[in-house]
């Protein structure tokens, strides 16, 4: 139970960090409806694909945890390996997006919208990288046949990163395109 309590305390502070950023973004957005015109330059298709990638990685993560509880470490390692691969795929798509946007001159200093965009997605990407490192450590242990309940804590963290993206996607992509400007 101690490890679960620890990870939830950590996530409680993370809620304040990401929530604070989202709150500031929303307040500025209310004052600047013209941000919708800037936000249409985000790549909604790739954002949607990345959402599918992260949701799928959450599934493989929880399946890895389920197999650990069944003492089936081989299957757990396979599912955790898939989670790591999906996390890397997410970062590759995100890198492509950054490359595309920066090539168009849409850099963090272009406007407050792009400053928020790079800050929020960049901080999220750093959390993905942190999750990948933690997953990699657990994966190495599972491959050696170590039973580890740390996978539960790492899993809760990974799902939290997924939850953050669930909110970032409509904030920065969907609610900015089409009719919802």
Residues in contact with other proteins by CB under 8 A are 4-5, 8-9, 11-16, 19-20, 22-24, 26-28, 30-31, 44, 48, 51-52, 55-56, 58-59, 61-63, 66, 155-156, 159-160, 162-163, 166-167, 169-170, 174-175, 177-181
**Closest to other proteins by CB, 140 or 181:** 181
In whole angstroms, the minimum distance from the beta carbon of 92 to other proteins comes to 20
145 neighbors 73 (Cβ within 8 angstroms): yes
In whole angstroms, the minimum distance from the beta carbon of 113 to other proteins comes to 15
The structure tokens listed for 152 are 């539960």
**Closest to other proteins by CB, 129 or 180:** 180
50 neighbors 90 (Cβ within 8 angstroms): yes
The structure tokens listed for 16 are 């304040």
**Closest to other proteins by CB, 48 or 129:** 48
The structure tokens listed for 2 are 């101690």
Region of residue 105 (phi > 0: left; psi between -120 and 50: alpha; otherwise: beta): left
In whole angstroms, the minimum distance from the beta carbon of 98 to other proteins comes to 22
In whole angstroms, the minimum distance from the beta carbon of 59 to other proteins comes to 4
Q: What are the CA-CA distances from residue 12 to residues 17, 25, 63, 152, 178 (Å)?
A: 9, 20, 25, 17, 34
**Closest to other proteins by CB, 36 or 102:** 36
């Amino acid at each position: 139970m101690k490890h679960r309590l620890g990870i939830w305390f950590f996530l409680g502070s993370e809620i304040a960090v990401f929530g604070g950023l989202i709150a500031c973004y929303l307040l500025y957005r209310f004052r600047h409806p013209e941000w919708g015109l800037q936000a249409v330059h985000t790549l909604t298709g790739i954002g949607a694909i990345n959402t599918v990638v992260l949701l799928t990685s959450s599934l493989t993560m929880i399946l890895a945890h389920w197999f650990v509880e069944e003492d089936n470490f081989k299957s757990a390692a396979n599912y955790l390996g898939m989670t790591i691969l999906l996390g890397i795929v997410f970062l590759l798509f995100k890198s492509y997006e950054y490359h595309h946007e920066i090539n168009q001159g849409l850099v963090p200093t272009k406007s407050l919208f792009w400053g928020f965009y790079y800050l929020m997605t960049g901080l999220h990407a750093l959390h993905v990288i942190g999750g990948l490192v933690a997953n990699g450590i657990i994966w190495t242990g599972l491959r050696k046949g170590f039973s580890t309940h740390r996978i539960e804590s790492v899993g809760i963290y990974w799902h939290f990163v997924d939850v953050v993206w669930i909110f970032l996607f409509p904030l920065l992509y969907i609610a900015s395109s089409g009719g919802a400007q």
